[in-house]
Chains A and B, each alone.
Chain A
Amino acid sequence: MSTLALLFLIAGLGLIGWLTARVRAVGFRRDSSARFSSLPSHHGTYVALWTLLPALLFVAVWSSVSPALVTDTVLTAPAAAQLPPPGFERAAVLSEARNIANGRTFGSFNPIAQQLAPAYAAAQSRYDWIGTAAALLLAFATGAWAYLRIKPDFRARTRVERVVMLVLLAASLIAILTTVGIVASLLFESWRFFKIVPIGDFLFGTHWSPQVIPANDPGSALGAVPLFWGTFFIGAVIAMIVAIPFGLMSAIYLTQYAAPRVRRWMKPILEILAGVPTVVYGYFAALTVAPAVRDLAVSIGVTWASSESALAAGLVMGVMIIPFVSSMADDSIAAVPASMRDGSLAMGATPSETIRKVMLPAALPGVVGGVLLAISRAIGETMIVVMAASGVATLSLNPFGSATTVTKQIVDLLTGEAEFDSPKTLAAFALGLTLFVVTLLLNIIALTVVKRYREAYE
């Protein structure tokens, strides 16, 4: 029986348990006038939970254990005597036999596999039936036991709610599991990488050319400094030169000058900029902005201009970041007490003087926090640089030249059919770890700055 059908069957048993228990609990209520701690549906849920959970647990355990049991049985079959000794070859024959038994492949590469297939099919169906019968029996037994426990004064509610609380707790633990998963997988793969390439070569080497990695000294081709520089140059310099003035001035205009009607329309329109998928920005950067930037460079006399310039990627990324900067600036300007602004205006300062001399200095920590978050966002941004920046890692200050970033290199290293344990693929995880650590630090600093600032006026 397939697992899906079994799950449906167990779910059906659970439903039956719920209904019968509920009927019984309703019966208690009719028969007596005592006060009850639990509603009939609590009794029902209690029985349903006891029917479902142990059986589902059993199915989960069984489906991880039974393949090994099946293999053991197959090994006792007469045809198994000809199997090669334990090792890679034997595993290959066995998996082929399994595929034939499941009808996934028809022809066979190895004649022994063909002979073993019937034994495989027989063992599999036997263990399937054992598993199904045991699961259904278990569901029935635990459900019946729970059904017998319910009595008029049985506190089903407390028990059901305890399970609900456990489910809630488990749901929130998933966040921690994900974080642990990210950190563990990055650390594990990076550790394998740093066994091949010394960490110093990776962090301080200035030559990056992963296309050809010399086998005797892989570190000489995997120095990540040009990537760090390119990431910083595109994400934290060029993008911010666009995003900070535009974001800040937009926030100032919309909070201080604009009529409420204008503000109500313009704020969502600017927020759309953050909602446009990055692949669209990337396409736009590559198709429209990059050629324009190159033409501009040629017209102002730059002799060597790349069509995949740092400037094109940075400009478009800056536009994408504008709403982040403007909404953070908006929040922190709005948090400046009105009395400070009114005081300045009452002294005769013009609104712009008030904003520049009073409000911005007071809002500065919030604005700085917003800018740091925006930088963290920009250096983690992938698609724009994948589509608009070049793959050539250079250390140059020329915005019309090519530059590459950490995220672009991760994509380049991991797309294409590479082995999972070559220094090339592992390097992507080391780059990922670096990116994770840097963005994490930026976020922590930004949040600390913002928090400290908020305390000042509360």
Chain B
Amino acid sequence: MNNVAASPSGVVPDRAPTDWRTDAMQRRIRRRYAAERRFRFMGLSAVVISAGFLAFLLVTMFLNGASGFTQTELKLPIDFPRAGLTLDPAQLHGPAQGGGADIALAAAGLERATDAAAIAAFGPKGDALLSDGAWLRVRDAVKADPALLKTRSIVSVPASAAIDSAAKGRGSAEAERQVAELGQRGVITTGFNPWFLTNSDSTDPTMVGIWGALKGSLFTMIVTLLLAFPIGVLSALYLEEYAPRNRWTDLIEVSINNLAAVPSIIFGLLGLAVFLGTFNLPRSAALVGGLTLALMTMPVIVIAGRNAIKSVPPSIRDAALAVGASPIQVVFHHVLPLALPGILTGTIIGMARALGETAPLLMIGMRAFMVSPPERLTDPATVLPVQIFLWSDQVNRGFIEKTSAAIIVLLVFLLAMNGLAIYLRNKFETRW
């Protein structure tokens, strides 16, 4: 071993051969190997900690949010004939359009009757056990079955936020005691809450739902897609296939690359100043939100589209040109269909980013309190991320689980979109 350093030509080396067995050398090697292991361990822990953070985030949201999909309900006996409702049964069959039955039931004192029933059933403070919107559930039950009005019947109504969180094990001592008491009487149940998916915003955490925000998100995404996809694809085609190399196309290219890196809130300022300030489009509308997000998404689609078009081999273009196709036919009949899977992947990723975006939509006023889902593109609307933001500001503790539950819904959508993008990329990936 110690002769390794000697040169074969017999020339004497200018220093003594290294003796690898000396203690100093062994120590040095051990130190170097330890450093190697440390370095490697640092790398591994960086990966593990980063992934761990993601897992922690997801698990926290899931644990907080899972209970948001459930709701505690109380079985409330109401003696309708004795409740003193001043109601003409004919009004219940009035025009559903104008909310005739709703108005009639509200005017008949149903809210007061519900509270009175709660006091009769659960003691002097019984009405505090119910959610503020409990009477709405009674109203819906009556509307569904007017025959109830003639009988003493039991209606399941949502419990108040305090009782709800106590039943899920996070309430105050007083509420816990009440829940235990109600549990002994067998009138309290906690189950899946379908209203969370079908209701809209409310001031009462036991009554809120995400349908309004989800519909707003859907409208906004439709506008974004309809604008960003054609414009993005067409400009990618122009820049990659036809554009002469001159100062103008350089300018376009630089603009697009820049737009992709502009902070999203700047697009919100643009939407505020141009769409609302100059064109006077309706505030808070899905239309304006979609326009703003389209400007943000378009550069993403252009960049993805150009990469996809670039990867179509020139031989395909040459073959088409050789049989007499015009440049337009070459692109629209041959290049575009081959590049489409790549463009679609980029589009889905861009849309996923737009779906999760909040800041620019706050700028154009999509933070209003919306109790009903939008019907048209120009109606005031809110979107899912903004709804999450609004709920996160609520002081009422019941909103924590609702916020996390809405986050779960949003993440499910995003992961599904990203998963679809990855699937498409793998399925259509072609190597020429």
Contacts and interface: CB of A to CB of B under 8 A. Distances in A.
A179 B262 CA distance: 10
Given A168-B237, A270-B47, A380 B367 contact: no
Given A178-B270, A284-B61, A253 B231 contact: no
A272 B54 contact: yes
B298 A175 contact: yes
Interface string A368-384: 00000100110111110
A182 B269 CA distance: 8
B328 A182 contact: no
Contacts, number: 241
Contacts of A275: 352-353, 356, 414, 418
Nearest to A442: B261
Interface residues on B, range: 35 or more
Contact of B255 (A167, A175, A386): A175
B35 A352 contact: yes
Interface string B225-253: 00000110011011100110000000110
B54 A273 contact: yes
Contacts of B190: none
Interface string A233-273: 00000000000011111101110111000000010111011
B265 A407 contact: yes
Kindly name the residue among B44, B53, B239, B367 whose own CB sees the greatest number of chain A CB atoms within 10 A. Answer: B53
B411 interface: yes
Given A185-B269, A245-B46, A250-B46, A179 B255 contact: yes
Interface residues on A, range: 35 or more
Interface stretch (A105-113, A298-306, A410-418): A410-418
A387 interface: yes
Given A175-B299, A252-B43, A284-B60, A278 B356 contact: yes
B266 interface: yes
Contacts of B328: 161, 164-165
A351 interface: yes
B272 interface: yes
Contacts of A249: 42-43, 45-47
B412 to A, nearest CB: 12
Contacts of B422: 268
Kindly name the residue among A171, A272, A381 whose own CB sees the greatest number of chain B CB atoms within 10 A. Answer: A171
Kindly name the residue among A182, A189, A435, A447 whose own CB sees the greatest number of chain B CB atoms within 10 A. Answer: A182
A168 B46 contact: no
Given A175-B235, A383-B359, 10 more contacts: A161-B328, A165-B328, A175-B298, A179-B258, A182-B270, A270-B51, A283-B404, A353-B36, A440-B262, A443-B261
Interface of B: 32-33, 35-36, 39-40, 42-47, 49-51, 53-54, 57, 60-61, 64, 230-231, 234-235, 237-239, 242-243, 251-252, 255-259, 261-267, 269-270, 272-274, 277, 295, 298-299, 302, 326-328, 352-353, 355-359, 362-363, 367, 385-386, 388-389, 392, 400, 403-404, 407, 410-411, 414-415, 418, 422
12 contacts: A161-B326, A182-B270, A246-B49, A272-B415, A276-B57, A280-B407, A283-B389, A283-B403, A288-B60, A319-B50, A319-B53, A380-B263
